[in-house]
């Protein structure tokens, strides 16, 4: 059992893959919840275009995990993190796609937190490649 434990720290490519392995299914669950939770009970947007966007992103994320490319995982994390940060800004100042996605204040908070984390992990993965 101890033979499978590496003495070396995981690379940033491996860390990006691990993050995406968690984040991909989370995106899919977020989309499904958006379709299922009634709007009056939801803290976050349940707009169909927003949910479809999350499902498409989840499919890409899971395909990258299945492909096993740490570089692609880092790229996805960096790009999606930047998209999340943009969506937070767009929601606050009223830029596209804020109205189409029916973004709410809780969406902005999550976009800043998740976006900063993903962009940071993705950047470190790209920088170390």
Q: Is the pLDDT of residue 32 over 90?
A: yes
Question: Taking 50 as the threshold, does the pLDDT of residue 107 lie above it?
Answer: yes
pLDDT, mean over the chain: 93
How far apart, in Å, are the Cα atoms of 111 and each of 7, 9, 92? 35, 29, 11
User: In this model, does residue 5 exceed pLDDT 90?
Assistant: no
Across the range 34-52, mean pLDDT stands at 94
The pLDDT value recorded for residue 105 is 96
For the chain, percent of residues with pLDDT exceeding 70 = 95
The pLDDT of residue 67:
95
pLDDT for the residue numbered 129: 74
Q: What is the pLDDT of residue 1?
A: 42
Residue 39: pLDDT band with limits 50, 70, 90: confident
Say what angle helices 48-67 and 70-93 make with each other, to 10 degrees.
160
Give the mean pLDDT of 29-39: 94
Backbone angles phi, psi at 9, to 5 degrees: -70, 150
Mean pLDDT of 111-127: 97
Cβ atoms within 10 Å of 30's Cβ, excluding its own: 17
Residue 80 has pLDDT above 50, yes or no: yes
């Amino acid at each position: 059992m101890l033979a499978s434990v590496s003495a070396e720290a995981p690379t940033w490519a491996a860390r990006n893959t691990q993050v995406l392995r968690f984040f991909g299914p989370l995106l899919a669950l977020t989309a499904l919840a958006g379709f299922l939770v009634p709007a009056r009970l939801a803290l976050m947007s349940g707009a169909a275009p927003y949910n479809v966007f999350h499902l498409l992103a989840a499919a890409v994320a899971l395909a990258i995990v299945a492909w096993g490319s740490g570089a692609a995982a880092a790229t996805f994390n960096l790009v999606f993190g930047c998209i999340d940060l943009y969506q937070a800004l767009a929601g606050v100042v009223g830029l596209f796609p804020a109205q189409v996605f029916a973004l709410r204040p809780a969406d902005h908070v999550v976009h800043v937190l998740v976006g900063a984390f993903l962009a940071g992990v993705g950047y470190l993965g790209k920088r170390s490649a």
